[in-house]
Amino acid sequence: MKRIAILGSTGSIGTQALEVIEAHPENGVVELLTAHNNANLLIEQAIKFSPNSVVISNEDHYLKVKDSLAHLPIKVYAGADAIVQCVCSDEIDLVLTAQVGFSGLRPTIAAIQAGKTIALANKETLVVAGDYISSLCLKHNVKIIPVDSEHSAIFQCLVGEYSNPIEKIYLTASGGPFRGKTKSELALVTKAQALKHPNWTMGAKITIDSASLMNKALEIIEAKWLFGLEANQIDVIVHPQSIIHSIVQFNDGSMKAQMGLPDMKLPIHYAFTYPERISSSFPRFDFLKFPQLSFETPDKQTFRSLEMAYYCLQEGGNMACILNAANEVANAAFLNDKIKFLQIFDLVEGTLERATFIAKPTINNYYESDAEAREIANNLIK
């Protein structure tokens, strides 16, 4: 029985992970749950799943969580440092990193240092510090099992291929709610439109990233580190139905694709059961409901994020860390009605141009770089 920690249990991935465990208790037992603001849901989850510990990272909610769980043998902690400490507990085998954004970095590092298997949803961790995380995993002999659907697809296609050379991979992209829109149309789009993803129901940050294709940009960088690829081995193909989750092309020209309904419960379940496949009750794909699967090239001129990802890979160093920080600021500013949709691209580009480049960053450089890029991006908004 795997003993599982879910960081960000109150979010879209976190709640789906708990649904997976509830539907398939043989997947493992819940050992640790963490949340930031949603104290009510965390309390509800703790009562239902009886973890050993819970952490609420926003300390303002500590007393509420503590008092509500006082009658149960559940330890309650508060603050970001508590997540970092609890995730290292000997009672945990696998850590699902489902916090959003840069906040996922520190606990993921701690979990790797403690030798935990990582089920990685928090792609920002690899975008910010992919080289550091990769060498840390090697040092501590830790496996990262991707949860992001595209990367889970690639990972599944590579099972049994050992070191057979990959020629390239194709990350599929739905194209988001604004696929096919021109620049002048995009100038007018609203937050409500951006939050309506055609195929996936996800947290607000990643939904906005999907609309700007910044999510795919982050995934290009994530793929580089997960699979040890060069930038020219990673391509993006728009596939509006989101049935083919991604494709590997091997050096003999053969291609393997992984398919399924767009439902994050599948890659979460796979990450929990890997290397086994355990029977699941999730809905099955019906070919006749999707008689046509189609493909398009992404509009890289309008959605400049993809080129920014390739630029960051080419420059290396802390460039992707700057990209991530600027995007987190731009994304939040758009959600708070401080900037228009197209300004997301301007803001990220402006920050990439201004922030200090460091060719060989240390982990501390990444934290400094993140802070500097946020300051630059925030000043560009004023």
Residues that bind ligand NDP (CB under 6 A): 8-14, 35-38, 57, 98-100, 103, 121-124, 148, 200, 202-206, 264
Q: In terms of CB distance, is 108 or 122 closer to Mg ion?
A: 122
Q: Which does 206 bind (CB under 5 to 8 A by kind): Mg ion, ligand NDP, none?
A: ligand NDP
Q: In terms of CB distance, is 150 or 349 closer to Mg ion?
A: 150
Please report how close the Cβ of residue 359 comes to ligand NDP at its closest, in angstroms.
27
- State the Cα–Cα distance between residues 116 and 111, nearest whole angstrom: 5
Which residue, chain included where needed, has tokens 């465990």? Answer: 21
Query: Is the preceding peptide bond at 361 cis, omega within 30 degrees of 0?
Result: no
- State the Cα–Cα distance between residues 128 and 105, nearest whole angstrom: 8
Q: In terms of CB distance, is 6 or 350 closer to ligand NDP?
A: 6
Nearest C-alpha neighbor of 200 from the set 216, 220, 223: 216
For residue 59, the tally of other CB atoms under 10 A from its CB is 12
Q: In terms of CB distance, is 36 or 123 closer to Mg ion?
A: 123
Amino acid sitting at position 166: I
Please report how close the Cβ of residue 340 comes to ligand NDP at its closest, in angstroms.
22
Please report how close the Cβ of residue 353 comes to ligand NDP at its closest, in angstroms.
25
Binding region for Mg ion (CB under 5 A) out of 102-110, 150-158, 255-263, 345-353: 150-158
Residue 250 near residue 157, CB atoms below 8 Å: no
- State the Cα–Cα distance between residues 351 and 310, nearest whole angstrom: 16
Among 124, 148, 328, 372, binds Mg ion (CB under 5 A): 148
Q: Which does 263 bind (CB under 5 to 8 A by kind): ligand NDP, Mg ion, none?
A: none
Please report how close the Cβ of residue 56 comes to ligand NDP at its closest, in angstroms.
8
Nearest C-alpha neighbor of 74 from the set 103, 33, 38: 33
Binding region for Mg ion (CB under 5 A) out of 148-156, 163-171, 352-360, 367-375: 148-156
Q: Helix, strand, or coil here: 305?
A: helix
Q: Which does 108 bind (CB under 5 to 8 A by kind): ligand NDP, Mg ion, none?
A: none
- State the Cα–Cα distance between residues 146 and 141, nearest whole angstrom: 16
Q: Which does 234 bind (CB under 5 to 8 A by kind): ligand NDP, Mg ion, none?
A: none
Residue 177 near residue 243, CB atoms below 8 Å: no
Please report how close the Cβ of residue 23 comes to ligand NDP at its closest, in angstroms.
17
**CA angle, corner 102, sides to 13 and 332, nearest 5?**
85
Residues lying near Mg ion in the complex (CB under 5 A) are found at 148-150
